[in-house]
């Protein structure tokens, strides 16, 4: 009953934008979040709660920055009486370096699926107690028993998204905006106005996709082709950035960027002072699909509490709240089925791609060939030196 | 009691000396010498294909540094660090001179006002520069409005070496200004004035009288600016858009981006040796004795 | 003759331009700290958008948020604590070192001196990485102690240098005279040498404190997950959004205004003292 009422009050971004009265609705949603306390405890197995009770009452989370709703942590702290230490990182490599440098500092982290492989190979993560993670049933089919974690025993998805193109439709009126050709063929036409992502895997995936190749290729010849493309493009690239490009997209210093879906929507968000002219495109040749997931670190001081958090994050309401805030896609089918995600996001094919778009997308899997990895490092060095 | 200790220490100056420098020696030993040895050790270890470090000794890491790309990054770092040092000097000298000569009773205040911004976070100020230097930012827009730049100019500051240089000069100006000011301030004004009364031409006076007298300040300032600028990774990354990378970025790349600690350790060793060599040669050629006492 | 008439003017213009250069980022920081949504109560998802260029409305929202921001307060406190301890320890040890180096001869002095200055010649990245490896080796978890120790190690040479410079200008016969008059070396140090050194110590602290408070590079490698300093926090807040949060701008403004007031006050006090003494 209570839950129904909250759902009906769930704020919709468009309404929020249009009417100032929505602010009041938002405020009441916030204050009524206390209503959650008590009702949902049943989704946590008592065995898990007992194990949590035997731990320190703290939880050390290591997550990407700007990747959580402001209310999620307080909600968890309040419901379970846990103190959360929340730290952030900027990219997967930083995460890996930090976890290796400081074993035992964190309980859980949120790597992207391909980083998860590397962490697993290096013995940095441990298996989960699947009996405790009852909310796994809420996950979408795509994330239940995926090929990178067939038993759902390492990786609990947090949010997923795509890596594509952001461009300013007021400044660029060009048919090439349909795909990667904008950034590669069009580089000289928009010289100094385009940016590329800084991370090696992302940087090399885009020319691979531009060439119509698989981004998981181990073929040295295919990977080698990206070197020329990237080097030819380099004189015209304004900068190799991560999400730092967002403000520059807003101020129109950068016209087109190689960027992640959710970050583009954040920069677009007009009710927050973003730039409405920004568009996000999943390139026609295909693009990278990724999912960030929670892993339990090997030296986690509070393994049970970490899994309590994971199970909590798979509650339909909690994960929908994340999606509504960060504009990435929820891996939680129940959130969608229960209409907890903003209509505007659900109906946007750039956030939740339709099946025919999904067919063009590809997850980055573990790259097994050492030669291929070496080559990628070498290409990156060419770009960065 | 204290008197007895004092007497004891007076009789045993060796003990006194050890007590005085013991703590800092320990700090230096454990936080400088030992870590350097650890880096040295890591630089000859092997990294296996899964990224784990194996205790197998090798010189492979040093060999792989023999690569034109590393060389050019090193050259760029040296050029930018030297450029930063020289610009800092060229800018700080007139400023320090002006403050010393004409600052009057406001001298110290004027110096403080220059240092003051460094009390707020370096990162915040660096990010502020991104927005000043960008294409539609304050600086280029003003230059356009005033008419110095044509409306269709192609000048770009951000994400190229000018931005890196500007912000590095901005960041390290203090390190040059303070030693120069201290050195100039130490000179008595009559000396400086006498020189001009003797009819010495300004540049000659500067070259042959003032500069030699403040040599210590110049030495200290240039070393204090050069070293952090050569290892800088935040400014080239942010202002150079990760295109104008310097040695510090490569360290970051090796340690954090590619997770190759042995390679990073080898880079760190090579870089340290190069820096020490440059400073040694510099101090040798400019300072008479080459010892670091010349600093002060 | 001609030279003397235009040089001061030229220098004045140049000096003023330098102040513009130094204060330009500060001014934008101050201005943007007041840029916010008209409705101060409104929840803003992406505060960084308010520092990216466009002017929205005059707002005190970020100042209000600053005082409610638990994490920010903690990070500020941490930075302050580290800087205070680091300056205290390094000034103490640095003064002792400088005194010994200047006044005593001892075995291995040459080597000691060479090693002493090495941290000044090592880029922060290398210092950070190498001390991190060392702390891992001895099993000291990252946090307050790792940051503090590295900051002390880096500050000692800096402090020693500044104080050595001051020592060269001290009339050391005073110490000998005091000791001839029966003072032991502690008393001589405290009563005679220390007051003469005070400006040097003050200058050293003034260099070392902001350095430690604002150090990013070394701390980046050594901070623990539960121990963030302000620069680290700013870095992680700004890293993914590309712009500093306006809350940080408001903090920066407060620090700027605070230090301006502090310096203004000290000059006023000094002015009064000088007047009391007559012309300096």
Domain boundary assignment for chain C: 69-242, 245-280
The predicted structure's pLDDT at residue A53? 92
Measured between beta carbons, which residues in chain A are less than 8 angstroms from residue C35? Answer: none
Tell me the average pLDDT of chain C: 83
Cβ atoms of C10 and B96 closer than 8 Å: no
Q: Does one domain contain both A78 and A148?
A: yes
The predicted structure's pLDDT at residue B234? 87
Nearest chain C CA: its distance from A220 CA (Å):
32
pLDDT at residue A291 tops 60: yes
**C47-83 residue pLDDT tens:** 777 776 678 888 888 898 888 888 888 899 999 999 9
List, as one string, the DSSP characters of C207-244: HHHHHHHH--HHHHHH-BTTB--HHHHHHHHHHTTSS-
Q: Name the more confident of A1 and C125.
A: C125
Contact (CB<8Å) B259/A251: no
Give the ipTM. Answer: 0.84
pLDDT at residue A312 tops 60: yes
Pairing of strands A237-241, A194-197: parallel
Quick check: A170 contacting B, CB < 8 Å? no
- Phi and psi at A157, nearest 5°, equal -60, 145
Q: What mean pLDDT do residues A31-49 have?
A: 62
Q: Does one domain contain both A156 and A296?
A: yes
**Looking at chain C, which subunits does it touch, using at least 3 CB pairs closer than 8 Å as the criterion?**
A, B
Cβ atoms of A155 and A293 closer than 8 Å: yes
**B15-25 residue pLDDT tens:** 777 887 888 88
Q: Does one domain contain both A245 and A255?
A: yes
Q: Name the more confident of B187 and A116.
A: A116
Partner residue opposite A253 with nearest CB, options B51, B70, B134 = B134
Contact (CB<8Å) C4/B196: yes
**If you count residue pairs, one on A and one on C, with CB atoms under 8 Å apart, how many are there?**
98
The predicted structure's pLDDT at residue A19? 39
Length of chain A: 385
pLDDT at residue A32 tops 50: no
Tell me the average pLDDT of chain A: 86
Quick check: B281 contacting C, CB < 8 Å? no
Dist. CA A268–CA A257, nearest whole Å = 13
pLDDT band at A20 (very low <50, low <70, confident <90, very high): very low
From the centroid of its chain, how far is CA A237? 25
The predicted structure's pLDDT at residue C276? 52
Q: What mean pLDDT do residues A155-173 have?
A: 95
Q: Does one domain contain both A36 and A98?
A: yes
Selection from A138-142, B8-12, B16-20 with the highest mean pLDDT: A138-142
Dist. CA C196–CA A342, nearest whole Å = 70
CB atoms < 10 A from the CB of A173, how many? 7
Q: Does one domain contain both A52 and A198?
A: no
Dist. CA C247–CA C60, nearest whole Å = 10
pLDDT band at B192 (very low <50, low <70, confident <90, very high): low
Q: Does one domain contain both A365 and A347?
A: no
Name the nearest CA neighbour of B246 among B67, B77, B70, B71.
Answer: B77
CATH superfamily of B66-295: MetI-like (1.10.3720.10)
- Which residues, including other chains, have CB under 8 Å from residue B44's CB and lie 6 or more apart? B57, B58, B59, B61, B262, B266
Name the nearest CA neighbour of C222 among C150, C160, C137, C159.
Answer: C150
Contact (CB<8Å) C259/B116: yes
pLDDT at residue B189 tops 80: no
pLDDT band at A344 (very low <50, low <70, confident <90, very high): confident
Q: What mean pLDDT do residues A284-297 have?
A: 94
Residue A143 belongs to what domain range? Answer: 2-160+291-353
Tell me the average pLDDT of chain B: 84
The structure tokens listed for C236 are: 């992680």
Contact (CB<8Å) C52/A251: yes
pLDDT band at C267 (very low <50, low <70, confident <90, very high): confident
Contact (CB<8Å) B242/A384: yes
Q: What is the DSSP letter of A341?
A: S
The predicted structure's pLDDT at residue C273? 63
**Looking at chain A, which subunits does it touch, using at least 3 CB pairs closer than 8 Å as the criterion?**
B, C
Partner residue opposite A244 with nearest CB, options C50, C221, C242 = C242
Quick check: A242 contacting C, CB < 8 Å? yes
Q: Does one domain contain both A273 and A226?
A: yes
The predicted structure's pLDDT at residue C5? 63
Cβ atoms of B179 and C200 closer than 8 Å: no
| CB-neighbour burial class of residue A371 (10 A; exposed 0-12, middle 13-18, buried 19+) | exposed
Quick check: B116 contacting C, CB < 8 Å? yes
**B195-240 residue pLDDT tens:** 555 555 666 777 777 788 888 889 888 988 998 898 888 899 889 9
Which residues are paired to A159 by β-bridges?
A: A292
Distances (CA, A) of B37 to A186, B269, C90: 50, 10, 24
Nearest chain B CA: its distance from C170 CA (Å):
13
The predicted structure's pLDDT at residue A41? 53
- Which 3 state secondary structure label does DSSP give C72? helix
Cβ atoms of A105 and A283 closer than 8 Å: no
Quick check: A88 contacting C, CB < 8 Å? yes
Dist. CA B137–CA B124, nearest whole Å = 17
The predicted structure's pLDDT at residue A193? 93
Which residues are paired to C35 by β-bridges?
A: C58
Q: Name the more confident of B136 and C184.
A: B136
The predicted structure's pLDDT at residue B195? 59
Nearest chain C CA: its distance from A207 CA (Å):
24
The predicted structure's pLDDT at residue A74? 93
pLDDT at residue C150 tops 70: yes
CATH of the domain at A141: 3.40.190.10
Partner residue opposite B182 with nearest CB, options C165, C259, C260 = C165
**B54-110 residue pLDDT tens:** 888 888 889 989 999 999 999 999 999 999 999 999 999 999 988 988 887 888 889
The predicted structure's pLDDT at residue B199? 57
Q: Name the more confident of A208 and B260.
A: A208
Quick check: A90 contacting C, CB < 8 Å? yes
- Which 3 state secondary structure label does DSSP give B47? strand
Measured between beta carbons, which residues in chain C are less than 8 angstroms from residue B196? Answer: 3-4
pLDDT at residue A6 tops 60: no
Partner residue opposite A250 with nearest CB, options C52, C56, C132 = C52
pLDDT at residue B117 tops 80: yes
Any idea which of A44-58, C184-198, C263-277 has the lowest mean pLDDT? Answer: C263-277
The predicted structure's pLDDT at residue C42? 73
Contact (CB<8Å) C52/A64: no
The structure tokens listed for B249 are: 């970025």
Contact (CB<8Å) A234/B243: yes
Quick check: A358 contacting B, CB < 8 Å? no
Measured between beta carbons, which residues in chain B are less than 8 angstroms from residue A240? Answer: 241-243
Cβ atoms of B124 and C248 closer than 8 Å: yes
The predicted structure's pLDDT at residue B291? 39
Q: Name the more confident of C30 and A11.
A: C30
Q: At what angle do helices A303-313 and A46-53 cross, to 10 degrees?
A: 140
Any idea which of A31-35, B32-36, C57-61, C112-116 has the lowest mean pLDDT? Answer: A31-35
pLDDT band at A348 (very low <50, low <70, confident <90, very high): confident
Dist. CA B96–CA B107, nearest whole Å = 9
Any idea which of A154-158, B156-160, C170-174 has the lowest mean pLDDT? Answer: C170-174
Domain parsing of chain B, residue ranges: 66-295
Cβ atoms of B33 and B43 closer than 8 Å: no
- CATH class as words, domain C69-242: mainly alpha
Partner residue opposite C49 with nearest CB, options A65, A248, A250 = A250
Backbone CA torsion sign across B172, C255, B102, B194: negative
pLDDT band at A145 (very low <50, low <70, confident <90, very high): confident
Contact (CB<8Å) C164/B295: yes
Any idea which of A51-55, A103-107, A296-300 has the lowest mean pLDDT? Answer: A103-107
The structure tokens listed for A13 are: 């971004």
Dist. CA B130–CA A250, nearest whole Å = 14
The predicted structure's pLDDT at residue A29? 44
Name the nearest CA neighbour of C162 among C107, C211, C106, C123.
Answer: C211
pLDDT at residue A162 tops 90: yes
Pairing of strands B46-47, A237-241: unpaired
% of chain C beyond a pLDDT of 70 = 92
**C86, C111, C125, best to mutate vs chain B, most B CBs in 10 Å:** C125
Q: Name the more confident of A258 and A273.
A: A258
Dist. CA B154–CA B149, nearest whole Å = 9
The predicted structure's pLDDT at residue A25? 41
pLDDT at residue A73 tops 90: yes
Quick check: A248 contacting C, CB < 8 Å? yes
Length of chain B: 296
């Amino acid at each position: 009953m209570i839950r129904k009422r909250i759902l009906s009050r769930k704020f919709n971004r468009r309404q929020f934008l249009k009417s100032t009265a929505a602010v009041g609705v938002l405020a009441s949603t916030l204050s009524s979040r206390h209503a959650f306390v008590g009702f949902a405890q049943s989704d946590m197995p008592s065995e898990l709660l007992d194990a949590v009770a035997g731990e320190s009452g703290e939880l050390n989370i290591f997550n990407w920055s700007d990747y959580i709703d402001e209310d999620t942590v307080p909600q968890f702290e309040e419901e379970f009486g846990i103190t959360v230490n929340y730290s952030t990182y900027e990219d997967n490599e930083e995460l890996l370096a930090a976890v290796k440098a400081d074993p035992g500092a964190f309980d859980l982290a949120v790597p992207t699926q391909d980083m998860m492989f590397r962490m697993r190979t290096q013995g940095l993560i441990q298996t989960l107690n699947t009996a405790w993670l009852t909310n796994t049933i809420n996950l979408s089919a795509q994330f239940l028993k995926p090929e990178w974690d067939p038993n759902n025993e390492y990786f609990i998805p947090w949010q997923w998204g795509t890596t594509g193109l952001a461009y300013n439709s007021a400044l660029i009126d060009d048919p090439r905006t349909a795909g990667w050709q904008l950034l590669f063929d069009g580089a000289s036409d928009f010289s100094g106005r385009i940016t590329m992502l800084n991370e090696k895997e992302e940087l090399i995936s885009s020319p691979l996709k531009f060439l119509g190749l698989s981004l998981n290729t181990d073929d040295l010849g295919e990977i080698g082709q990206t070197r020329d493309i990237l080097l030819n493009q380099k004189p015209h690239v304004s900068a190799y950035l991560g999400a730092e490009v967002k403000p520059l997209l807003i101020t129109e210093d950068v016209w087109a960027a190689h960027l992640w879906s959710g970050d583009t929507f954040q920069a677009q968000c007009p009710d927050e002072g973003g730039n409405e002219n920004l568009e996000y495109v999943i390139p026609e040749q295909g693009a990278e699909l990724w999912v960030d997931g929670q892993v339990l670190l090997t030296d986690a001081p509070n393994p049970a509490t970490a899994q309590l958090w994971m199970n909590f994050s798979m509650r339909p309401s909690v994960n929908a709240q994340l999606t509504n805030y960060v504009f990435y896609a929820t891996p939680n089918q129940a959130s969608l089925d229960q209409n907890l995600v903003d209509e505007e996001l659900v109906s946007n094919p750039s956030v939740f791609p339709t099946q025919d778009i999904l067919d063009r997308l590809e997850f980055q899997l573990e790259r097994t060939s050492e030669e291929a990895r070496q080559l990628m490092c070498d290409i990156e060095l060419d770009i960065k030196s | 009691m204290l008197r007895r200790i004092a007497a004891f220490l007076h009789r045993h100056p060796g003990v006194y000396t050890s007590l005085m420098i013991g703590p800092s020696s320990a700090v230096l030993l454990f936080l400088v010498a030992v870590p350097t040895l650890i880096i040295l050790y890591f630089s000859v270890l092997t990294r296996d294909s899964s990224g784990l470090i194996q205790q197998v000794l090798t010189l492979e890491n040093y060999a792989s540094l023999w690569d034109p790309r590393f060389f050019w990054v090193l050259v760029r770092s040296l050029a930018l660090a030297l450029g930063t040092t020289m610009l800092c000097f060229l800018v700080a000298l007139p400023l320090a001179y002006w403050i010393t000569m004409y600052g009057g009773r406001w001298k110290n205040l004027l110096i403080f006002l220059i240092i003051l911004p460094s009390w707020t976070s370096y990162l915040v100020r660096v990010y502020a520069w991104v927005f000043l230097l960008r294409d539609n930012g304050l600086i280029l827009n003003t230059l356009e409005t005033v008419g110095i730049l044509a409306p269709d100019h192609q000048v770009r500051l951000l994400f190229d070496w000018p931005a890196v240089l500007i912000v590095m000069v901005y960041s390290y100006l203090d390190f040059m200004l303070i030693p120069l000011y201290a050195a100039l301030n130490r000179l008595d004004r009559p000396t400086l004035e006498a020189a001009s009364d003797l009819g010495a031409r300004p540049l000659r006076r500067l070259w042959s009288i003032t500069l030699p007298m403040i040599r210590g300040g110049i030495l200290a300032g240039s070393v204090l600016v050069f070293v952090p600028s050569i290892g800088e990774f935040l400014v080239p990354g942010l202002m150079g858009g990760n295109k104008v990378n310097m040695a510090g970025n490569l360290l970051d790349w090796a340690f954090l981006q590619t997770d190759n600690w042995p390679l990073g350790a080898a880079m760190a060793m090579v870089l340290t040796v190069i820096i020490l060599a440059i400073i040694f040669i510099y101090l040798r050629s400019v300072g008479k004795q080459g010892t670091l006492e010349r600093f002060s | 003759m001609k030279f003397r008439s235009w040089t001061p003017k030229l220098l004045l213009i140049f000096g003023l331009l330098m102040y513009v250069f130094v204060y330009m980022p500060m001014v934008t920081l101050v201005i943007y700290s007041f840029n916010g949504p008209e409705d101060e109560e409104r929840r803003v998802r992406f505060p960084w958008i308010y520092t990216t260029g466009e002017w929205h409305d005059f707002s005190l929202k970020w100042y209000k948020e600053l005082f409610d921001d638990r994490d920010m307060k903690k990070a500020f406190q941490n930075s302050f604590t580290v800087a205070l301890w680091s300056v205290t320890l390094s000034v103490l040890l640095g003064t002792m070192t400088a005194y010994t180096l200047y006044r005593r001869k001892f075995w291995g002095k040459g080597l000691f001196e060479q090693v002493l200055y090495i941290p000044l010649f090592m880029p922060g990245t290398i210092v950070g990485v190498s001390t991190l490896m060392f702390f891992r080796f001895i099993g000291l978890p990252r946090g307050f102690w790792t940051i503090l120790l590295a900051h002390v190690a880096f500050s000692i040479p800096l402090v020693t240098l500044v104080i050595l410079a001051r020592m060269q200008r001290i009339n050391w016969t005073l110490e000998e005279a005091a000791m001839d008059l029966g003072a032991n070396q502690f008393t001589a140090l405290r009563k005679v040498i220390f007051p003469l050194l005070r400006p040097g110590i003050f200058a050293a602290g003034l260099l070392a404190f902001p350095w430690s408070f604002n150090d990013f590079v070394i701390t980046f490698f050594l901070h623990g997950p539960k121990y963030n300093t302000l620069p680290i926090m700013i870095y992680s807040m700004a890293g993914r959004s590309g712009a500093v949060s306006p809350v940080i701008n408001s903090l920066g403004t407060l620090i700027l205004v605070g230090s301006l007031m502090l310096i203004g006050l000290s000059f006023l006090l000094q002015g009064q003292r000088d007047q009391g003494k007559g012309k300096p």
